[in-house]
């Protein structure tokens, strides 16, 4: 609700995950929503679990991401 739309929120999280440079407005939103502390930390934890416990699924995921 703070972002105004789920599309903007999704794009901001995606940019943070991909380490894309953010505008000043996006940087403020990132800090306000604590994306680095909350969401990215959780996603990174889930990706580590997937790579450890289901390596074939992790490899399929990486194939899709790289293409």
For the chain, the structural domain boundaries read: 6-66
Q: Are 24 and 50 in contact (CB under 8 A)?
A: no
What pLDDT was estimated at residue 7?
A: 81
Q: Would you give per-residue pLDDT tens digits along the chain (67 residues)?
A: 666 777 888 888 888 888 889 899 888 888 888 877 778 788 888 888 988 999 998 888 888 777 6
Spatial neighbors of 14 by CB under 8 A, at least 6 apart, are 20
What pLDDT was estimated at residue 62?
A: 80
Give the predicted TM-score (pTM) of the model: 0.57
What pLDDT was estimated at residue 3?
A: 66
3-class secondary-structure state, position 19: coil
What pLDDT was estimated at residue 56?
A: 92
């Amino acid at each position: 609700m703070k972002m105004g739309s789920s599309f903007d929120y999704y794009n901001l999280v995606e940019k943070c995950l991909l380490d894309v440079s953010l505008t000043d407005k996006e940087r403020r939103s990132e800090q306000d929503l604590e994306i680095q502390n909350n969401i990215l930390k959780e996603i990174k934890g889930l990706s580590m679990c997937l790579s450890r416990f289901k390596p074939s699924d992790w490899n399929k995921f990486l194939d899709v991401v790289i293409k």
